[in-house]
Amino acid sequence: MKNIIKGIVLAGMVLFASCSSQQSLQEYYVDNSENPNFIAIDVPASILKMDAVELTSTQEEAIESLRKFNLLAFKKTADNAAEYKVEKTKVKEILKGEDFVELMKINSQYGKGVIKYIGDEDAIDEVIIYGDSKDKGFALVRVLGKDMNPAHIVQLMQAIQKSDYDGAGLGEIGEFLKG
């Protein structure tokens, strides 16, 4: 009898492990934070220095809902072009997951991207901004917050533009994102 129970428990664990075999975005960040092809940085929301900026009440609410940003970028070179393709495919597969709700697609002179979120429509916990360029590589930004509102994301972008934030404090990843 004990062997039957052990067998059922073991089978259940194997089944559970196989169901959750797709890597999460958080696991992807952790797994690649030490990879030399990636640039990784965690930034508190306070780095935006919004204190001196005159904001609307909606913009203030959007800023207050932020906690931090996780940035991960793959800097493409001639030597790592094959790995770039593999990593780009991995990220796109993760972002196809049912937890991610698409907010908008981005198509600019710099490349293509998408903005997605996790959470309820009126209480977002995480916004994911992904963009890639054939020449430069790709960047993945996780905006972590508490009860963020999708309507406030545009307000947040406007507030950041008002602040004249120049990327100070982002180091190497700031340069990557700029150019």
The parent domain of residue 171 ranges over 22-178
Task: Report the candidate in 92, 102, 101 with the shortest Cα–Cα distance to residue 119.
Answer: 101
Alpha carbon 27 to chain centroid, angstroms: 12
Contacts of 38 by beta carbon, 8 Å cutoff, 6+ apart: 32, 72, 73, 74, 75
**Is 64 within the bounds of a domain?**
yes
Query: Can you tell me whether residue 127 is helix, strand or coil?
Result: strand
**Is 7 within the bounds of a domain?**
no
Counting runs of H as helices and runs of E as strands, what totals does the chain give?
6, 6
Do 48 and 65 meet the contact criterion of CB atoms below 8 Å apart? no
**Is 37 within the bounds of a domain?**
yes
The CB-side HSE value for 139 (13 A sphere, CA atoms) comes to 23
Query: What's the rounded Cα separation, in Å, for the pair 32 and 74?
Result: 9
From first to last of its 179 residues, the chain has per-residue pLDDT tens of 544 444 454 444 443 433 445 689 999 999 999 999 999 988 887 766 666 677 778 777 777 777 888 999 999 999 999 999 999 999 999 999 999 999 888 888 778 899 898 888 777 888 898 999 988 999 999 988 887 777 666 666 666 666 655 555 545 545 555 44
pTM of the model as a whole: 0.72
**Is 15 within the bounds of a domain?**
no
In the chain, the number of structural domains is: 1
**Is 52 within the bounds of a domain?**
yes
**Is 5 within the bounds of a domain?**
no
**Is 16 within the bounds of a domain?**
no
**Is 11 within the bounds of a domain?**
no
Query: What's the rounded Cα separation, in Å, for the pair 135 and 84?
Result: 11
Could you tell me where the DSSP H helices lie in 20-162? 25-32, 57-64, 81-95, 150-162
